[in-house]
Structure 1
């Protein structure tokens, strides 16, 4: 919304009128001729449970300048801002987008007029969304305390502009105690215009280093320097206007200064300015600051338009365009640049390193982002993906371990799996070069052979017992997928022995699949844990229940279809998932939102499930669910995200689904090929070689009935040929070309399809690729006079050997021919025999 005009604030009035003209002019242009950044609304996701922030940031930028409305660490205030709030505490320079844990919020600045305070409950100010504007790289708000605030971001530095009421004192507070527990902090004067800062804090990142450099357009006078690391400056501002340059670094204060030099013009030291020259110097500096501001703001807009322009779309629904470009914008907030302009960065070992020939990044929410966000950039920005992989490998060299959930040089060990391997494998199989593949494979194996979170137990026993670790079902499934990724990486490097080893490990999911219920179930003492309710949210699943977890075998969908009983049974399970009642039981789990039946789009374990219908020859059912998810759980409003943004994953799902694409199993070159929800899409593909004269384009034209309907088109035409319609190989996707999907006449003639002829592919001999662990089932939970015990294994096994007591079933076990009857307490051990007679 536009500001309400106020004749007492002339400078701000110009800002308002200028933007009024820009918006009016933009509104006269056809939608497809307007700049993509015009369709970005950074307020999307700031309401509800999206956990996003509305402030100024550049694509993958180090600095995120945004208002903070919460200081209590509440779950919905993780980003520092929530749309339902009406008070702003200040404007800090670092923020996380969409996480479920609070951190960042470094170097809070808060302007005030007339009076000042060190107490957050007194220095905060009311505001109204009617007087708030957010766009790509820019944020502005009118505070109730009388100060107008604007911010524009660069990559590692940015600028604030404060318009104070004329005739009143102008103050600016710096609060190093804001949000996190302060470990160490200082503010040091360089001269009357420049200050440098340092803050070490403890929150989610247990030892975060942040350094800053400040430069003002007017000389600053300290009116309060508190021992509690809060400082208040006063200013004699010409026309009530103060401009502030700020840069940050994770290395040191000199790094912050150099980051400012690299992006914002920095003048010479003004320590020797005499009193009679202060007014003239300040006037000259103000002119210079205004010029830098104009350049920075234009650069931010230009940079965002270039970044967003990698995908050009046309559609008659303007709201859909806004939702799309806001989602694409959210895909570019994290990971965040961590290396300074001179290449230095703070490593996971706490030491200072220098990135040679690549940019070093941070904020890797890998449990979320390996699914769609990283594949999106592996496709559209392979150079940046190469830098991500280089960052992973540098961290491995520093501390001997790939990242799990790293930010600010701290490993949080949040969430499960070792999904760095997914990003690396996806880069390898899709041809990204420029990193040490031998080192990458070494690092990936190291992640898969740790002795924590049940990894060692799974390696030794072939399944995870509930006593081995919490969330055992989810961990076993995700470890199996990650092991498959390592197998693909080994195959890409020609190591067939390693490939077979990890391919076998990737089949461990079968040992927790209960074929009777079709659910992935926890095991205890060789048996299924009972009682069992697939709706129950408990500590055997990660932020989910059995319904939301049991469809996770992306590396072997056809194997899963076969294991649950074939295509008809698999389809029935999927149908029931989407149609059953939505109520869950067990513990409360805030992340489980966006329910369609038991499908929960608000959290990542469900994100791939709708696309499984493709593997059953029922793409119309895929479309029905994908369209419903897009329409019900995404919008261009502040509450336009149904769950945590999770550093871009929630938005990446929307972006790719809008293009009719989805990477079901990153680490494979296969993309699910569906129907775009937009009239025309032009994707500017990355150059395969610097010697090519121009980039290739992928153009998708989708007829109106199909982009909103659920019938499957008969025609996917590209240069007169019709490909296999359910998937497309990455190499073919990179070839580009023009695709015409469906036609008006086709739909009018009733020729749209609801299903594709389907036959389960011939499955390979999985006895060589799977280590079956027998299931021991007792006739009763209590031992009376006797107990009947049955033993069974996956049907890929050809036999079972068992033993009682301390006898080793591998060496001295007996062939199992039928149920056993025990007349006293005893230990039953069993091993499955594969097709070659091996246990």
Structure 2
């Protein structure tokens, strides 16, 4: 009897262990199209991402280092980004070759064929055609395992090139013995100061057979900012060389400890099997049933992509590099890196609160430490660097969501203070946002998106305050969370930018411009996740808001304005390929039309996720694209992270089993009541009581001619007809006059350069103060420009370059005129002859954005507008490689000259050179103010 029981228990254990969900993972999904994923070996959340690199040029579709359309491999590096829109990583690159070792990418790279390539969870293999070498890769969290099989006899080389992909700031290779080396690499790319150390162990003795370096060679240590070495050994036909690479963010000692802990095995299959087991442990958290193997593959590959990052970023002993580049030890939590929060707060992190509450607490603890050591919680953190990429401070969403769902394991008070700290900064438009309750074009670029996303984040902080019983903080941040109302235009229902107190015109909701982040007004006009009932009310009720949701799906799928490669997967103007749209289809639930949610979600699931290299409709974005799929197939989605509830839809699969950390299992079918789905996983969460908070009064709109000849009429319009409006004017004659606000009754006329300030009041609540500047023209010149301005960068028209208003270094605010691929010629007509002694014109350079100084500027004079005499030529002296955003005034004195016309000719740079990321593209000339004395 005992024997039978033993056998039965063994069978049960075996069956449980043998659930091989990893068999459905296809790492090639997303490596084609614009998915930006990589196919190499990784374990869940591992520090090592060991993958082939087919791109070394920093191209957009090569952000991960690999693209399925390529046919050449340059090497195998140990760090990669999963689906980002900016290139980085590719650290510690090794490449096997044969014969005479070459140390340039052209020499050591090899052709390959996809028919000889394989990728599964935790494993990658390929045949390198040039020298007939079979490569196999697998990994642990911190150690990459390579196996190279040389199918011909001869000299086998392993090339280490520290100049691979991004810019090498410091490099070092220490020869410990003939089988062991240590490597240090400090590099600059998206992360501007990334440190990585490695310990590399060869399975047989290797000797240095080639080297290139521009630093020192002392005591068997090579250094420099150019550094590549080749290690060589004779091999027989079919012989294998194994290589183990342990990496560390802290130092050689950390790499050695990581190698000792995870690099002991010499059995490649053992490590591969362990990687598979690691994946099955994570993938088994959600079981789905389907007879369609492609659907299973898409689902489990989606889970694989979600679990690819954030990445553990500490040594086995807990030592990590803080945001201040000092060393710390994480004693009771895991310290992570790679936080693409603008993307992942929407779906990936809410999914983790459901299936990995412990790791969610680790993420929050990481945020708290990054605030303590780096000043702020992360925005888009990479390798202990804050990239400041994207917008908002969405770490607060992750924290609020964790607190609202009862996740413990972190200090709530510290998390709240860290969140509040981010909201009280004076950066990226926040100063204006705090003072007047919205951001205008005049304050900061991407003003609409920043206002809306800050407002959501502020709601998240308010939810933390409510949980902690902080009434004053709750009221303050709930009031701020209503700032979206200042950019909601009741005349058209869209979120519209404001400039100089007025609505920015002309307005086209399809236009992609610098007022929105990777999108247009369609994409952002639904981004009030924290107050959807308020948005519905603003539109005039559920029926009208339903029509507005219908409108985005019915609109033309053509965008106007700037080309934005991220806007993909279009259904009308809805863009599944980019994150701001991800919640919109679920909004039908809020207008009592769940059948429309069903229809849209099913269409997206059926059409935009495929078992193919181009199977993702947009960038994976560190798991967000896949998290949307996972949640939606389960029949849930977090429209408002920070609320312990899901929006629901009919599950995609017949049955889903959800295995939670508390040991319970939830079974979801198509018949599961929506009421059960709504609180799935958070049924027992205690919800804090609602508190009262003030309703925000919206700022009025000021309209008049920004530049006028003699007079202009000023009109102030409240956005709520119940509001009482006050205003104040200041002109040059009011310098010593104390002025106060007075009640606005009707439009008024001004004849001087004037500042107009206004606010609205309702029930004792005042709006923020909106200020506008109206300038009387400093001259009555005319100007003709013989070049075609880019419609994105008109600065309001041709007179902008002689209106006396100077643009600043933030050119995205719209005060500069931009001309691409053209020499700009401007002819100013003074209307009558003038004595000229000095001429100036200003230009801007932002090399990364393709904006370069003109090669030279010429000034001419004429009496008749036809015959011009050259007065002066000024050569540019700013290096096009200088990436600092800067303004140069090409100012010169000239011999006293009488002329009616002045011609300014700015010669464009031409095509961008090979060293530039946009090589071959035409550079811009950005010009602003031309002045003549």
Tell me the TM-score normalized by structure 2.
Answer: 0.76
Provide closer, same or farther for how the CA distance between residues 637 and 837 of structure 1 changes in structure 2, counting only shifts above 3 A.
closer
Q: Give the structure 1 partner of residue 896 of structure 2.
A: none
> Is the contact between residue 19 and residue 280 of structure 2 (CA under 8 Å) also seen in structure 1?
no
Report the Cα offset of residue 815 of structure 1: 3.2
> Is the contact between residue 364 and residue 399 of structure 2 (CA under 8 Å) also seen in structure 1?
yes
In structure 2, C-alpha distance between the alignment counterparts of 1:770 and 1:87, rounded to whole Å: 58
Q: Which runs of 5+ in 2 are unaligned?
A: 1-14, 214-225, 768-933
> Is the contact between residue 728 and residue 742 of structure 2 (CA under 8 Å) also seen in structure 1?
yes
Report the Cα offset of residue 215 of structure 1: 1.0
> Out of 801, 811, 816, which is 2:726 matched to?
801
> Is the contact between residue 798 and residue 833 of structure 1 (CA under 8 Å) also seen in structure 2?
yes
Q: Give the structure 1 partner of residue 257 of structure 2.
A: 258
Provide closer, same or farther for how the CA distance between residues 595 and 764 of structure 1 changes in structure 2, counting only shifts above 3 A.
farther
Are 2:800 and 1:832 equivalent residues in the alignment? no
In structure 2, C-alpha distance between the alignment counterparts of 1:374 and 1:727, rounded to whole Å: 17
User: For residues 283-327 of structure 1, what are the alpha-carbon distances to aligned partners after superposition, in whole Å with 9 as ceiling and x for unaligned?
Assistant: xxxxx62x3x22211110111011100000101211111100000
Report the Cα offset of residue 366 of structure 1: 0.7
Provide closer, same or farther for how the CA distance between residues 467 and 297 of structure 1 changes in structure 2, counting only shifts above 3 A.
same
Report the Cα offset of residue 810 of structure 1: 13
Are 2:125 and 1:199 equivalent residues in the alignment? no
> Out of 57, 73, 77, which is 1:72 matched to?
57
Report the Cα offset of residue 488 of structure 1: 0.4
> Is the contact between residue 103 and residue 211 of structure 2 (CA under 8 Å) also seen in structure 1?
no
In structure 1, C-alpha distance between the alignment counterparts of 2:766 and 2:714, rounded to whole Å: 27
Report the Cα offset of residue 595 of structure 1: 0.8
Q: Give the structure 1 partner of residue 169 of structure 2.
A: 183
Q: What secondary structure sits across from 1:636 in the alignment?
A: coil
**Larger Rg belongs to:** 2
Q: Give the structure 1 partner of residue 3 of structure 2.
A: none
In structure 1, C-alpha distance between the alignment counterparts of 2:286 and 2:765, rounded to whole Å: 55
Provide closer, same or farther for how the CA distance between residues 621 and 167 of structure 1 changes in structure 2, counting only shifts above 3 A.
same
In structure 2, C-alpha distance between the alignment counterparts of 1:734 and 1:141, rounded to whole Å: 49
> Out of 522, 543, 554, which is 1:568 matched to?
543
In structure 2, C-alpha distance between the alignment counterparts of 1:149 and 1:110, rounded to whole Å: 10
Report the Cα offset of residue 666 of structure 1: 0.7
User: For residues 654-699 of structure 1, what are the alpha-carbon distances to aligned partners after superposition, in whole Å with 9 as ceiling and x for unaligned?
Assistant: 1111111101111111211211101110000121xxxxxxx11110
Q: What secondary structure sits across from 1:247 in the alignment?
A: strand
> Is the contact between residue 50 and residue 76 of structure 2 (CA under 8 Å) also seen in structure 1?
yes
Report the Cα offset of residue 543 of structure 1: 0.6
Q: Give the structure 2 partner of residue 553 of structure 1.
A: 528
Are 2:326 and 1:338 equivalent residues in the alignment? no
Are 2:161 and 1:139 equivalent residues in the alignment? no
> Is the contact between residue 404 and residue 644 of structure 2 (CA under 8 Å) also seen in structure 1?
yes
Q: What secondary structure sits across from 1:169 in the alignment?
A: strand
Report the Cα offset of residue 777 of structure 1: 3.6
Q: What secondary structure sits across from 1:541 in the alignment?
A: coil
Trace 1:144-159 onto structure 2 (pairs within 5 A). 144=129, 145-159=131-145
> Is the contact between residue 614 and residue 726 of structure 1 (CA under 8 Å) also seen in structure 2?
no
Report the Cα offset of residue 579 of structure 1: 1.1
Report the Cα offset of residue 138 of structure 1: 0.4
Provide closer, same or farther for how the CA distance between residues 36 and 798 of structure 1 changes in structure 2, counting only shifts above 3 A.
same
User: For residues 751-780 of structure 1, what are the alpha-carbon distances to aligned partners after superposition, in whole Å with 9 as ceiling and x for unaligned?
Assistant: xxxxxxxxxxxx9998x2314211224599
Q: Give the structure 2 partner of residue 90 of structure 1.
A: 75
Provide closer, same or farther for how the CA distance between residues 731 and 414 of structure 1 changes in structure 2, counting only shifts above 3 A.
same
In structure 2, C-alpha distance between the alignment counterparts of 1:318 and 1:358, rounded to whole Å: 37
Are 2:150 and 1:164 equivalent residues in the alignment? yes
Report the Cα offset of residue 463 of structure 1: 1.4
> Is the contact between residue 697 and residue 761 of structure 2 (CA under 8 Å) also seen in structure 1?
no
Report the Cα offset of residue 798 of structure 1: 3.9
Report the Cα offset of residue 246 of structure 1: 1.1
> Is the contact between residue 619 and residue 726 of structure 1 (CA under 8 Å) also seen in structure 2?
no
User: For residues 178-209 of structure 1, what are the alpha-carbon distances to aligned partners after superposition, in whole Å with 9 as ceiling and x for unaligned?
Assistant: 01111111111222211111111111111111
Are 2:603 and 1:628 equivalent residues in the alignment? yes
> Is the contact between residue 778 and residue 790 of structure 1 (CA under 8 Å) also seen in structure 2?
no
Q: What secondary structure sits across from 1:557 in the alignment?
A: helix
Q: What secondary structure sits across from 1:326 in the alignment?
A: helix
Provide closer, same or farther for how the CA distance between residues 163 and 536 of structure 1 changes in structure 2, counting only shifts above 3 A.
same
Report the Cα offset of residue 557 of structure 1: 0.3
What value does the CA root-mean-square deviation take over the aligned residues? Answer: 2.5
Q: Give the structure 2 partner of residue 698 of structure 1.
A: 666
Report the Cα offset of residue 644 of structure 1: 0.8
Q: Give the structure 1 partner of residue 643 of structure 2.
A: 668
> Out of 467, 470, 475, which is 2:445 matched to?
470
Report the Cα offset of residue 838 of structure 1: 5.0
Are 2:289 and 1:314 equivalent residues in the alignment? yes
In structure 2, C-alpha distance between the alignment counterparts of 1:89 and 1:315, rounded to whole Å: 39
In structure 1, C-alpha distance between the alignment counterparts of 2:738 and 2:654, rounded to whole Å: 62
Trace 1:631-780 onto structure 2 (pairs within 5 A). 631-687=606-662, 695-702=663-670, 716-717=672-673, 724=675, 727-728=678-679, 731-732=682-683, 768-778=694-704
> Is the contact between residue 696 and residue 765 of structure 2 (CA under 8 Å) also seen in structure 1?
no
Report the Cα offset of residue 716 of structure 1: 3.9
Flag the structure with more relative contact order, 1 or 2, with Cα contacts below 8 A and sequence separation at least 6: 1
> Is the contact between residue 793 and residue 832 of structure 1 (CA under 8 Å) also seen in structure 2?
no
Q: What secondary structure sits across from 1:646 in the alignment?
A: coil
Q: What secondary structure sits across from 1:187 in the alignment?
A: strand
Q: Which runs of 5+ in 1 are unaligned?
A: 1-29, 266-287, 688-694, 703-714, 718-722, 736-762
In structure 1, C-alpha distance between the alignment counterparts of 2:17 and 2:560, rounded to whole Å: 47
> Out of 748, 752, 762, which is 1:821 matched to?
748
Q: Give the structure 1 partner of residue 228 of structure 2.
A: 230
Q: Give the structure 2 partner of residue 214 of structure 1.
A: 200
In structure 2, C-alpha distance between the alignment counterparts of 1:450 and 1:435, rounded to whole Å: 24
Q: What secondary structure sits across from 1:64 in the alignment?
A: coil
> Is the contact between residue 170 and residue 240 of structure 1 (CA under 8 Å) also seen in structure 2?
no
Are 2:101 and 1:103 equivalent residues in the alignment? no
Q: What secondary structure sits across from 2:622 in the alignment?
A: helix
Q: Give the structure 2 partner of residue 386 of structure 1.
A: 361
Report the Cα offset of residue 78 of structure 1: 0.7
> Is the contact between residue 154 and residue 235 of structure 2 (CA under 8 Å) also seen in structure 1?
no
Provide closer, same or farther for how the CA distance between residues 828 and 157 of structure 1 changes in structure 2, counting only shifts above 3 A.
same
Q: Give the structure 1 partner of residue 789 of structure 2.
A: none
Are 2:457 and 1:532 equivalent residues in the alignment? no
> Is the contact between residue 113 and residue 146 of structure 1 (CA under 8 Å) also seen in structure 2?
no
User: For residues 18-46 of structure 1, what are the alpha-carbon distances to aligned partners after superposition, in whole Å with 9 as ceiling and x for unaligned?
Assistant: xxxxxxxxxxxx99985110000000000
In structure 2, C-alpha distance between the alignment counterparts of 1:158 and 1:56, rounded to whole Å: 8
In structure 2, C-alpha distance between the alignment counterparts of 1:764 and 1:815, rounded to whole Å: 33
Bigger strand fraction:
2
User: For residues 401-455 of structure 1, what are the alpha-carbon distances to aligned partners after superposition, in whole Å with 9 as ceiling and x for unaligned?
Assistant: 1111111111111111011111111111111112122111111111011111110
Report the Cα offset of residue 400 of structure 1: 1.8
> Is the contact between residue 504 and residue 771 of structure 1 (CA under 8 Å) also seen in structure 2?
no
Report the Cα offset of residue 237 of structure 1: 4.2
